[in-house]
């Protein structure tokens, strides 16, 4: 199959469209003029149920599938419920990709995570560092599930000649993120805590860990653009990284969040809490060579995300502390 512009009229299924990633991809496809977009909420279609997934694909027969559905969470959730993260994600992936292959989906993009790479991988992390060392223990179950998804894409390509691909995004943020006080990732968690502290007049905010680990953050709208770009310009078995190629320490990120929100109190670090992987900077030379570049800077993206968070809070869509 030659790499060409996706047919805006062909049926496209976004699995996980209610989540941060899937929602951004759906919005981007709508902006691009895709006219036959198929979605299902988790209550309408439980992707862990192979019979239901098989019936859905038999009826809908999408030509293009984006697998953005996953059970996700931060360090606390991953380390507390590893069996759930492993089992749910494995079942979602196997059910969706196998059914897509059986029912004629010609293109598929599976989205993994940068946590698939070894804890002490050389920085920046190249795609070929996969499976070269031990994983970060706090999210190894989730990582193993995502690695299985990468290998499933490769197996489907080898066995059936399908043009399925996988991509590994760096840490993501943006409108639609999860701001739960205990189940969120680091950046939305910081936004919530600093906002609550600023509004209550709290003198300090405590951040987990030492503040020294470094993290790279990509706005989810940039990720959405990257996904369509890859579906149109990439057709290889190896996973491909999606990121910005720059990172900051957790301390620097927390200080930036405080500045955007207007919190002027003291920043404290709870060193009894885990740091997680010391650094996760992705090598993004391969995707940049395909002509894609991120467009949204971190300060701009944080301001946009904080505005969305406040709107949702005011509307009652997010529960206040």
Binding positions for substrate: 193, 208, 215, 275
Active-site residue flag, 142: yes
65: nearest Cα among 20, 27, 96, 102: 96
Q: Given this model, what pLDDT does residue 277 score?
A: 75
Please report, for residues 125, 166, 173, the alpha-carbon distance to residue 152 in angstroms, rounded to integers and kept in the order given: 22, 10, 27
Binding positions: 16-22, 111-114, 146, 169-172, 185, 193, 208, 215, 275
**pLDDT tens, 265-304?**
999 999 998 887 788 899 999 999 999 999 999 999 999 9
Please report, for residues 186, 190, 205, 298, the alpha-carbon distance to residue 209 in angstroms, rounded to integers and kept in the order given: 11, 13, 13, 22
Predicted confidence band of residue 321 (pLDDT cuts 50, 70, 90) = low
Query: pTM for the whole thing?
Result: 0.93
- Between 73 and 119, residue with greater pLDDT: 119
Binding positions for NADP(+): 16-22, 111-114, 146, 169-172, 185
For the segment 67-80, the average pLDDT, to the nearest whole number, is 85
Q: For all residues of the chain together, what is the average pLDDT?
A: 94
All structural domains of the chain, each given as residue ranges with its CATH number in brackets, are 12-176+216-244+281-297 (3.40.50.720)
**pLDDT tens, 4-26?**
789 999 999 999 999 999 999 99
Options 13, 142, 173, 234, the catalytic residue: 142
């Amino acid at each position: 199959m030659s790499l060409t512009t996706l047919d805006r009229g062909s049926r496209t299924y976004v699995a996980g469209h209610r989540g941060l990633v899937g929602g951004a991809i759906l919005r981007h496809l709508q902006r691009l003029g895709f006219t036959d977009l198929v979605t299902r909420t988790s209550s309408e279609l439980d992707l862990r149920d192979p019979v239901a997934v098989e019936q859905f694909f038999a009826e809908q027969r999408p030509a293009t599938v984006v697998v953005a559905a996953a059970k996700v969470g931060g360090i606390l959730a991953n380390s507390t419920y590893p069996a759930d993260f492993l089992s749910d994600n494995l079942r979602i992936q196997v059910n969706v990709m196998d059914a897509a292959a059986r029912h004629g989906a010609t293109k598929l993009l599976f989205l993994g995570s940068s946590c698939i790479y070894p804890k002490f991988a050389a920085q920046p992390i190249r795609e070929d560092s996969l499976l070269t060392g031990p994983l970060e223990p706090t999210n190894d179950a989730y990582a193993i599930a995502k690695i299985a998804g990468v290998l499933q894409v490769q197996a489907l390509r080898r066995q059936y000649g399908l043009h399925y691909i996988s991509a590994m995004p760096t840490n993501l943020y943006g409108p639609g993120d999860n701001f739960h006080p205990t189940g969120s990732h680091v950046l939305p968690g910081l936004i919530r805590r600093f906002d609550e502290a600023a509004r209550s007049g709290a003198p300090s905010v405590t951040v987990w860990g030492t503040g020294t680990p470094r993290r790279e953050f990509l706005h989810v709208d940039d990720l959405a653009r990257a996904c369509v770009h890859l579906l149109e310009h990439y057709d290889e078995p190896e996973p491909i990284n999606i990121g910005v190629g720059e990172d900051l320490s957790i301390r620097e990120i927390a200080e930036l969040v405080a500045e955007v929100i207007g919190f002027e109190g003291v920043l404290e670090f709870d060193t009894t809490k885990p740091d997680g992987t010391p650094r996760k900077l992705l090598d993004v030379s391969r995707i940049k060579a395909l002509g894609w570049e991120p467009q949204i800077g971190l300060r701009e993206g944080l301001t946009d995300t904080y505005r969305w968070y406040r709107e949702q809070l005011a509307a009652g869509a997010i529960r206040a502390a």
